[in-house]
């Protein structure tokens, strides 16, 4: 079987299932919120959720129905309300947004027409934009979750659980309403693995059914041998850095990182606080004791950098991260794995994904997802910062949605691997996420490399 034959076959029926599933996830994540919560406070890192769900419908209409399908607009003022490239972020609370019921009706009408396109058989351009709209909605699903976390809204009830996602659970408990899926405690997973140097092909390949413009295309990079941690940094490991006055020692921080720490008045990770028993972290609207063997969450790139300096370590480069996840053997030039464990699609024995667990598992859990070198959880559980600034690969050309990547080059840092809420259909080893280095509201952690292999 060739590599292309092992890739998912994106039939109209499968895409229709994804369209419905992505929309049901969106509805699940807002169903319990009051109208005032859908608008929420004016914060520079968030969107009003009422605007955001309308934006999802507008995006699908704009690119699938109007751009690819040449259909007339469904809503005459939708561009003035929902075009994220034209509507300044700070004004989105002041717009004459339709009511909740009117917005949901607009979403329903757009979805019906997209499903009609799939039912009649889409052309290649429509198929591309349908995939783009599905993945766009999936990514906003993560944003809905970090918005709920930021605003201390209750844990959502994610009920759109597909049996195909959870059909295999190694050491798990699943309640009847699908709100709790865990994969065992697992414990710690310390130590490094050694990855030999060589020429590695960094980036995506045309065989993929869909590739974002910032992944294009695979190109050779030269890697020196390196040693990378088998697992992400845990909450207990990061607590040791906090207890060692890591936030009060400027020598551990870069100049810009120290300026950020002072400006942000950061003294510990976001959503941490102490009580007489020890450290707690806020999980949506409740405070929990630290889970010592689960990845540290909600740390900025600057915090990750300072931890590394304290620990005598460093962040992996983007190429090192991908080689540790994707290389299938000592010769880095041989064809890469699509996922850390191989080409088989993710399931619950290999990766903590799709949001059904509503949280991380221990870093030693899910050994079936190990890379060829023995790195664990490089797909799922927590996004991992890398050392590199987000930038174009050689020969970069923006795709039709030009604002997806290009505006963020140089100002953002690259994260890899996905997190517990990332939809599994989004991911592969070459997938690149990107945020500004000061962001710590997102579901980000990191793993480290030895200074010398």
Across 142-160, average pLDDT: 90
Question: Which is higher by pLDDT, 160 or 424?
Answer: 424
In this predicted structure, the answer to whether residue 259 has a pLDDT above a threshold of 50 is: yes
Cα 15 from chain centre: 21
Q: What is the pLDDT of residues 72-96, one digit of tens each?
A: 889 889 999 999 999 999 999 999 9
pLDDT digits (tens, 9 = 90+) for 288-317: 999 999 999 999 999 999 999 999 999 999
Phi, psi of 112 (to 5 degrees): -60, -40
The average confidence (pLDDT) of the chain is 92
What pLDDT score does 174 carry? 31
- Quick one: which of 51, 24, 39, 15 has its CA closest to 108? 24
Average pLDDT over residues 130-149: 98
Strands 286-289 and 278-283: antiparallel
What is d(CA 118, CA 11) in angstroms, rounded to the nearest whole number?
Answer: 9
Over the Cα atoms of the chain, what is R_g?
A: 22
- Predicted confidence at residue 163, as pLDDT, reads 35
Question: Residue 433 in contact with residue 383, Cβ under 8 Å?
Answer: yes
* pLDDT for the residue 329: 86
**269 close to 299: Cβ distance less than 8 angstroms:** yes
Q: What pLDDT was estimated at residue 333? A: 84
Query: In terms of pLDDT, which residue wins out, 334 or 380?
Result: 380
Domains of the chain listed by start with CATH number: 4-150 (1.20.120.450), 161-453 (3.90.1580.10)
Taking 50 as the threshold, does the pLDDT of residue 260 lie above it? yes
Peptide bond into 217 cis (omega under 30): yes
Q: Per residue in 104-128, pLDDT tens?
A: 999 999 999 999 999 999 999 999 9
179, pLDDT greater than 80:
no
Alpha carbon distance, N-terminus to C-terminus of the chain: 36
How much is the average pLDDT of 319-339? 94
The tokens describing 265, both together, are: 């008045």
- For the chain, give the secondary structure using H, E and C: CCCHHHCCCCCHHHHHHHHHHHHHHHHHHHCCCCHHHHHCCCCCCCCCHHHHHHHHHHHHHHHHHHHHCCCCCCCCCHHHHHCCCCCCHHHCCCCCCCCHHHHHHHHHHHHHHHHHHHHHCCCHHHHHHHHHHHHHHHHHHHHHHHHHHHCCCCCCCCCCCCCCCCCCCCCCEECCCCCCEECCCCCCCCCEEEECCEEEEECCCCCCCCCCHHHCCCEEEEECCEEEECCCCEHHHHHHHHHCCHHHCHHHCCHHHHHHHHHHCCCCCCCEEEECCEEEEEECCEEEECCCCCECCCCCHHHHHHHHHHHCEECCCHHHHHHHHHCCCCCCCCCCCCECCECCCCCCCCCCCCCCCCCCCCCCCCHHHCCCCCCCCCCCCCEEEEEEECCCCCCCCCCCCCCCCHHHCCCCEEEECCCCCCCHHHCCCCCEEEECCCCCCCCEECCCEECCC
- How far apart are alpha carbons 10 and 198 in whole angstroms? 34
Is residue 327 over pLDDT 80? yes
pLDDT higher than 70, residue 6: no
Mean pLDDT, residues 225-252 taken together? 98
All residues at 6 or more sequence positions from 362 whose CB lies less than 8 Å from its CB, including other chains: 184, 185, 186, 187, 188, 189, 291, 293, 294
Q: Is the pLDDT of residue 171 over 80?
A: no
């Amino acid at each position: 079987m060739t590599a292309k034959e092992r890739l998912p076959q994106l039939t109209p029926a499968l895409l229709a299932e994804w369209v419905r599933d992505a929309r049901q996830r969106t509805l699940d994540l807002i169903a319990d919120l009051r109208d005032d919560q859908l608008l929420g406070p004016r914060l520079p890192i968030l969107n009003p959720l009422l605007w955001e769900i309308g934006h999802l419908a507008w995006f699908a209409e704009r690119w699938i129905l109007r751009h690819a399908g040449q259909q007339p607009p469904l809503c005459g003022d939708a561009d003035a309300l929902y075009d994220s490239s034209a509507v300044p972020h700070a004004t989105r609370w002041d717009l004459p947004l339709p009511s909740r019921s009117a917005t949901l009706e607009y979403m329903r009408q757009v979805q019906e027409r997209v499903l009609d396109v799939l039912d009649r058989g889409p052309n290649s351009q429509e198929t591309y934009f349908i995939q783009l709209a599905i993945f766009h909605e999936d990514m906003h699903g993560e944003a809905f979750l970090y918005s709920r976390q930021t605003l201390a809204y209750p844990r959502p009830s994610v009920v759109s659980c597909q049996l195909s996602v959870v059909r295999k659970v190694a050491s798990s408990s699943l309640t009847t309403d699908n709100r709790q899926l865990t994969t065992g405690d697992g414990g710690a997973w310390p130590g490094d693995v050694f990855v030999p140097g060589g020429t590695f092909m960094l980036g995506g390949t045309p065989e993929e059914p869909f590739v974002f413009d910032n992944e294009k295309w695979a190109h050779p990079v030269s890697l020196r041998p390196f040693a990378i941690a088998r697992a992400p940094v845990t909450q207990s490991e990061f607590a040791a850095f906090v207890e060692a006055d890591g936030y009060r020692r400027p020598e551990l921080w870069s100049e810009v990182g120290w300026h950020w720490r002072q400006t942000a008045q950061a003294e510990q990770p976001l959503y941490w606080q102490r009580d007489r028993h020890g450290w707690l972290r806020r999980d949506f609207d409740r405070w929990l004791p630290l889970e010592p063997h689960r990845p540290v969450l909600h740390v900025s790139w600057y915090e990750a950098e300072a931890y590394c300096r304290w620990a005598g370590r460093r962040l992996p480069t983007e190429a090192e991260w991908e080689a540790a996840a994707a290389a299938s053997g000592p010769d880095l030039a041989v064809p890469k794995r699509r996922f850390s464990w191989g080409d088989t699609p993710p399931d619950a024995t290999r990766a903590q994904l799709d949001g059904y667990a509503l949280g991380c598992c221990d870093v030693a859990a899910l050994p079936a997802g190990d890379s060829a070198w023995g790195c664990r959880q490089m797909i799922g559980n927590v996004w991992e910062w890398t050392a590199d600034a987000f930038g174009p690969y050689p020969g970069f050309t923006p795709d039709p949605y030009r604002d997806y990547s290009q505006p963020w080059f140089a100002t953002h840092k690259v994260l890899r691997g996905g997190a517990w809420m990332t939809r599994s259909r989004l991911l592969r080893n070459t997938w690149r996420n990107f945020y500004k280095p000061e962001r710590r509201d997102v579901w980000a952690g990191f793993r480290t490399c030895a200074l010398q292999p």
